[in-house]
Structure 1
């Protein structure tokens, strides 16, 4: 009778139920970055200024920041997977709290109009809607 456990040299047992996190996590991060860029581009097409303090936020800026901070989320998920008894729950709680904190500057930017603020908030939510459930599914 075969089992789903194999022995890897110097690494102990590895079960087939333990799914990879980094490669799918990077895919979720890329998807979130694309979503942020699409939201910003759509707002730009509808005439939203995307200016803060007289300087325009480039579309690539949305892509880069969304990707970088999503990769930070992947690292958090990997940490919770390793050190938490309930990694999915700990990750979701932490990610939602960090999402809430990330929205604060959008409300406090003094030189942005309402449409720009709403766009910034929507980009955060678009990224979170892809990355958080995706990573959560990998932590079960």
Structure 2
């Protein structure tokens, strides 16, 4: 016969889980709100660029980037940035510093495709600016949130 000696019953989450869950949830909430703001700011900036004559036509396929496309892509990559921030908060001793270095590097890399697209100067310039708009919303917001969670 096997006998098991249980010394007690666990009635709640482990203290380590609670300690990490709240800051992660707060950061995810901050990331969600910042994502919505970045999507709105980028779409508005794209609409303003379009209003002054930028066509957003990419020569390879001759297609024009639609305004909702800016919101979708911004939303996707902003969520990716939030996931990166959450990962650094969870597994890094210096999450804010690592997050800023990583996201600034990724933003710089994201500027290469518009330069290689072959689009006209106005479209290329607008696309470069539109890569920087969500970065200026997301990076400082999440970095500030990471600093307040670890200090």
TM-score under structure 1 length normalisation: 0.88
The reply to whether residue 139 of structure 1 matches residue 142 of structure 2 is: no
Count how many residue pairs are aligned between Structure 1 and Structure 2: 131
Per-residue displacement from partner, 1:43-97 (whole Å, max 9, x unpaired)?
Answer: 1000111110221100000000001100000000000001100000000000000
The reply to whether residue 118 of structure 1 matches residue 129 of structure 2 is: no
1:5 maps to what in 2? none
Distance 1:41 1:80 in 2: 34
The reply to whether residue 128 of structure 1 matches residue 135 of structure 2 is: yes
- Considering fraction of residues, name the structure with more strand: 1
How well do the aligned residues superpose, as a CA RMSD in angstroms?
1.7
Query: Structure 2 stretches of 5 or more lacking a match?
Result: 1-10
Distance 1:11 1:113 in 2: 58
- Aligned partner (choices 74, 84, 108) of residue 76 of structure 1: 84
Which is further off, 31-40 or 82-91? 31-40
1:44 maps to what in 2? 50
Per-residue displacement from partner, 1:84-135 (whole Å, max 9, x unpaired)?
Answer: 000000000000000001110011112x101101111111111000000000
Alignment of 1:20-59 (within 5 A): 20-53=26-59, 54-59=62-67
TM-score under structure 2 length normalisation: 0.82
